[in-house]
Amino acid sequence: MHLATIQAYQGRPVALIYDLSFPLGTKPPVVIPYVDGLISAVTWANNKRLFITITSNVAVEGDKENTWARTVSIDTEGKNPVVLFGDFASKDFNYSASVVADFDLDDPDHVFMPLWFLDPYDGSFRHSLYKVDVNTGRSRLEVRGGPKTLEFYMDGHGHVLGRLDRETGPLVDHLLIYKDGDWKDVAQFSATGGKGADIEGVSLDGTALVQIVSSDKTGTTGLKARKLSDNSVDDLFFDPKYDVHAALIDPWTQRNTGVAVTTDLTEYRYFDPEMEKLQRVLENTFSGKSVHAVTWDLSKQKLILAVDGPHEPRAYYLLDRTIHTAAKLTTTYRELSDTDLGEVKLYPYKARDGLDIPAYLTLPPGKLPKNLPVVIMPHGGPMARDQLGFDWMAQFLANRGYAVLQPNFRGSSGYGVKFMEAGYEQWGLKMQDDVTDGVLKLIADGIADPKRICIVGGSYGGYAALAGAAFTPDLYACAASWAGVSDLGEFLSTRVEDYGSDSAMISSWTRFIGDRHSDAAKLDAASPAHNAARIKCPILLMHGVADSTVRINQSEIMQHALEKAKKRVEFIRFDKETHYMETADTRTRVLKALEKFLAENIGN
């Protein structure tokens, strides 16, 4: 039995393979590095071969840099690597060349993978399904998709159950079921605004496809099961207050085995009675923490557990059910001790219009919560949320003496449909007011020193940081942005160039931000770069040169606007870095830059 992980070595991710037939720590792992890209995922193809997914940012034929991914199969000794689809001419710079649609439990030497290719018969690009040999990387066409096919759904035994097609103008998803050698269009879903069919795989019993949908009854998103036999739909799981965070997928059967729901910590519920019983035992054992099995062997006798909490970085355990022991394998921050970490507590408050805003407050260790320097740290997305678990940046800042507020402003996900929809077209408006109202509560409660407050964020959080400096200039002593949006109209135009005006991506961004044509004046008014003259505090901009999510021109536009307005600004570029701070070197440089910037402006 072997265990595969991704760990940092000299600041870069490497794949490691541990032989678990030896006692832990007695045999060094096999280490598999990669220099020209980043190792982003590992998964077992079978007992003898590991899949390693590698991403890299490359500009193809003079286009902008984009993120591309490939998957390599390698044996347990780290030898005999082969590139999947290695025999296929369309494998390079293909958006699906790394994706596994299904593993075949009856044929462990083959997997099924989709691939975009140029059809020689009609000249169209098609997303078709291939059977790929895990030992050689060679592939053969299994099911030919249509010109609008996006996904395939399989049963874990090499049989295709259905597929999803998307048409544009208007955006509509078509669910097709494969039966008796033919495709039948059984259901249609509007994909406007980034919604769509949201198929999350196959039900535990294999009789239905599982969808994430919203419920009028609960007002939250949850799971429904759409039966393959008659297209009837049954509720599978809905929480009355919180959205489903994720559908849990069995790593071997690819069946939907349960759900994750984030209240304050992430909780796990299973449809499999055996897994549900185990989960209850785990929660009793690791009381007050979030715990779940991340992977297991086919017999489910040996499982890898992930355990974390507000005051505990994620740790991994090997649970051996045959001898009833759980041995700690590693933790994500091995050198941290309890005294290094700050207390994390709930800090809910009401927005000025009465809406309840969930938030979390991390306090600096060893300090009373009175008159503290404070960092406001709104999350990215904005269709995301913070939770009560360990946050590496919040804890770093708390360790340096700052209280850290993380507000889940309206528009955040996880709290029901109405809470998210309340953020539509509210960039710089009510969403920003929610952040501001959290700052005002900290001041009113005596926790924050009103002269020593800085706002820091990444992606949408970077936008919120710049917007805070521009639209409430007397509130903040400084603001720092990682990959933040500064010009909403330009951001949408760049996204159109990347994805096309009729894409679901643009439809989603338009729903959240506004229309770049009809709402142009409104977007300019909500853009920090168009309001740079209002800013009074120093600004720190940081951005990855290879960012394909928020292009670096957003920070360049902001820098130019600030310099033109004669404001204080520092801009740090990170070569080869993407949107996600993927290397330890980048994270270390960001933290050091933040530490210096905060010390200069709100230092204690």
The pLDDT tens digits of the residues spanning 149-191 come to 999 999 999 999 999 999 988 899 999 999 888 999 999 999 9
Task: List all residues 6 or more positions away from 246 whose beta carbon is below 8 Å from its beta carbon.
Answer: 259, 260
Q: Report pLDDT digits (tens) over 243-298.
A: 999 999 998 888 999 999 999 999 999 999 999 999 999 999 999 999 999 999 98
User: Taking 90 as the threshold, does the pLDDT of residue 313 lie above it?
Assistant: yes
DSSP SS3 for 597: helix
User: Taking 70 as the threshold, does the pLDDT of residue 305 lie above it?
Assistant: yes
Q: What is the mean pLDDT of the chain?
A: 94
Task: List all residues 6 or more positions away from 471 whose beta carbon is below 8 Å from its beta carbon.
Answer: 428, 432, 531, 534
User: Taking 70 as the threshold, does the pLDDT of residue 30 lie above it?
Assistant: yes
CA separation for the pair 578, 583 (Å, rounded): 9
Q: DSSP secondary structure string, 428-489?
A: TTHHHHHHHHHHHHHHHTT-EEEEEEEEEEETHHHHHHHHHHHHSTTT-SEEEEES----HH
AA letter at 512: F
Point out the least confidently predicted range of 314-328, 419-433, 586-600: 314-328
CA separation for the pair 353, 350 (Å, rounded): 8
pLDDT, position 203: 96
Q: Report pLDDT digits (tens) over 369-427.
A: 999 999 999 999 999 999 999 999 999 999 999 999 999 999 999 999 999 999 999 99
More confident residue, 408 or 21: 408
- Look at the pTM and tell me if it is higher than 0.85: yes
**Consecutive H or E run containing 585:** helix 584-602
Q: Report pLDDT digits (tens) over 490-536.
A: 999 999 998 888 889 999 999 999 999 999 999 999 999 999 999 99
Q: Report pLDDT digits (tens) over 455-477.
A: 999 999 999 999 999 999 999 99
Give the tokens for residue 552.
């670096």
